[in-house]
Structure formats: C-alpha cells, structure tokens
C-alpha cells in the first residue's frame, strides 16, 4: 500500500530535477557519460548519517559504500570489490571510513547476547573488542564504552583497507589513495577527523601484510 510519504519522494525528486536544471541546464548531462569521484566513503547504514548531506559533497564526487557499523571485512566481496574498483579504475585520492557515536551495531556487539544471523557480522566488531578488552572494560558508563569502540573500530577498519594489495600497490606507484578515519557526532551533526597517520599506519601494517 502506498503512503503519502512514499508518493512525496517522487514529488520531491521532480522538484529537485527542476531546481538543478534551472540553475544549470547541463547539470545532469555532464554526469551522463562517466564518473570520476575523488573520494571513496565507507560509512554506517544508519539513516542518521547520510554521506552526501553531512559532507556537502555534490553529485559525482563521492563513491559510497555503507553497511552496518562501517566494516571492511576481508571476506566481504561487496566492500572489497568497491575498494578495488574505486582504487584501480576510479583512482580515488582519498578513502574515508566514517563511524558515528551511538552506533547501534557497535552497541549490539558489546552486549553478551545473540542477534541471529547478525552475529556473524558483529563478530568483526567483537574481534576488535577482544583486542582492546583491557582498555574498554575500564570505561564507564556504557555509552562511553560504545563511543570508544566506535573510534577503535574506525582505526581498525582503516588498517583493514591498508592491508589490501590494491591500496598498497596504488600508493607505491601513484602516491594515492590515502586513508582517513572520521567520526560523525549524531547528536550535534559535527564531523571530526581522527587524524589517522596514514604513512605510519602503512608502515606498521606492512610489517605483516606487505603485499606490494
Ligand atoms: Co551505526
């Protein structure tokens, strides 16, 4: 059954097309042939964290992958294909992992209970929880523990991107992409750069995962 809100989406789309074309009649035709975005954004599927809206990046400049808790798993063909395509064919200059405070996926991973199929996905986060167990166990209240794991998860996912052969090879041959970790504050709308030191992290990762 269609609802009023559902129908409004198409009404909004017509208005958007009209307003974009009014300012620039070639607005859509310029995107018709191909794309050449500078950024690959990997973020959470959470409806409160819309990639283009929070960054102000317009059509054509942001290649996006989103999943629960912005995970970059080595056996996820989806995210790995996105990264390889973005690096080798689109030649993006920056890869961004964006986590957000209060993330439901991170919160679920910190709970000692089963969520069915989702357990397999949350396992990626629980593995990080295990690595930082000593630090995380000391943090109270629970909300602060969630937010710290949100940060640690972003750092670990940046490392997971750097572990891939395509990122290492491209950086060695062309000098890009570099990888960045961001946090989005859902309650204020602010973005913060965690200033992950790309060169230092690459060096650290390559002690074990040198693939270029
Ligand atoms: Co989330």
Mean per-residue pLDDT for 67-81? 98
What pLDDT score does 31 carry? 84
Question: Is pLDDT above 90 for 86?
Answer: yes
What is the Å distance from ligand 1's center to 48 Cα? 9
What is the Å distance from ligand 1's center to 46 Cα? 5
Mean per-residue pLDDT for 97-120? 96
Break the chain into its structural domains and give their ranges.
35-200
pLDDT band (50, 70, 90) for residue 206: very high
What pLDDT score does 152 carry? 98
Q: What is the per-residue pLDDT across 149-190, written as a single tens digit (0 to 9) for each? A: 999 999 999 999 999 999 999 999 999 999 999 999 999 999
Average pLDDT of every residue of the chain: 95
What pLDDT score does 33 carry? 79
Task: Work out whether the CA dihedral 38, 40, 46, 49 comes out positive or negative.
Answer: negative
Domain 35-200 = CATH 3.40.50.1820: no
What pLDDT score does 32 carry? 77
Q: Exactly one of 65, 98, 103, 158 is catalytic; which is it?
A: 103
What pLDDT score does 3 carry? 82
Indicate if 100 belongs to the active site: yes
What pLDDT score does 1 carry? 61
Indicate if 180 belongs to the active site: no
């Amino acid at each position: 059954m269609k609802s009023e809100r559902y129908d409004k989406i198409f009404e909004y789309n017509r208005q958007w097309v009209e307003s974009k074309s009014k300012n620039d009649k070639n607005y859509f035709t310029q995107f018709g042939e191909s794309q050449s975005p500078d950024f690959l954004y990997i973020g959470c599927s959470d409806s409160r964290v819309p990639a283009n809206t929070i960054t102000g990046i317009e059509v054509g400049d942001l290649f996006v992958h989103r999943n629960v808790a912005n995970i970059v798993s080595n056996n996820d063909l989806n995210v790995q294909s996105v990264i390889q395509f973005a690096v080798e064919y689109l030649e993006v200059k920056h890869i961004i992992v964006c986590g957000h405070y209060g993330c439901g996926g991170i919160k679920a991973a910190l709970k000692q209970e089963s969520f069915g199929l989702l357990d397999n996905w949350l396992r990626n986060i629980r593995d990080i929880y295990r690595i930082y167990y000593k630090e995380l166990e000391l943090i109270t209240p629970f909300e602060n523990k969630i937010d710290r794991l949100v940060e640690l998860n972003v750092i670990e996912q940046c490392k997971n991107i750097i572990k891939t052969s395509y990122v290492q090879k491209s950086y060695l041959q062309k000098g890009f992409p570099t990888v960045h970790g961001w946090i989005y504050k859902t309650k204020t709308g602010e973005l913060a750069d965690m200033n992950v030191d790309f060169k230092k992290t690459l060096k650290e990762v390559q002690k074990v995962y040198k693939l270029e």
